[in-house]
Amino acid sequence: MFQTDQILAISLFFHLLATVIWVGGLILTTIMIWPEVRRTLQNKPELYTMTNRLRKRFTPLGNLSLAVLIFTGLVQMSLDENYKGFMDFSNTWSVVILLKHVAIIGMIASGAILQYGIFPALDRTSLMIERNKGDTATWESLRRRETLLTWANALLGIAVLAFSAWAGVL
């Protein structure tokens, strides 16, 4: 039905689209959106609502992008002439792909900590603050952790792109 070149082209298209959404979204959020939202809404109740809404909109897109990246990445890797088999690191390309996968695992780990640890705590704390029953110091501490993990995620995303470029020329 499909030839190898067609499968590779379709896979690459969806891989690039998912990369733009996931890594591009992380970088845009980290460098532009969060700092400007915080500066504009400094400790106003809208700050908590806005950050929660942005987070809830991006998380499903990020998760879907991750699933697409894993699937399309496996397709592309298996079709690459440099791929010699699972856990075979006999060429430079395989080592670079391993480093890329280590960075991706780091992104997944920091994303999971954010999604299942920091975000729910921020949601609870924000709700309490909006009802004048919460502690802004706790919210600030959680936001600092969120910022640190988001920066780590964005930098790991840049590393993934660098490893992809490196592997592409091998």
Helix (H, G, I), strand (E, B) or coil at 86: coil
Domains held by the chain: number? 1
pLDDT of residue 129: 80
pTM of the model: 0.80
Kindly report, residue by residue over 59-116, the tens digit of the pLDDT: 899 899 989 999 998 888 888 787 887 888 889 999 999 999 999 999 999 999 999 9
d(CA 170, CA 165): 9
12-35 burial: b if 16+ Cβ within 10 Å, else e:
eeebeebbebbbebbbebbeeebe
* Per-residue pLDDT, 147: 86
- For the chain, percent of residues with pLDDT exceeding 90: 34
Residues 6+ apart with CB under 8 A from 90: 84
Range of the domain at 136: 4-168
Query: Measured between alpha carbons, how far is 91 from 38 in angstroms, rounded to an integer?
Result: 47
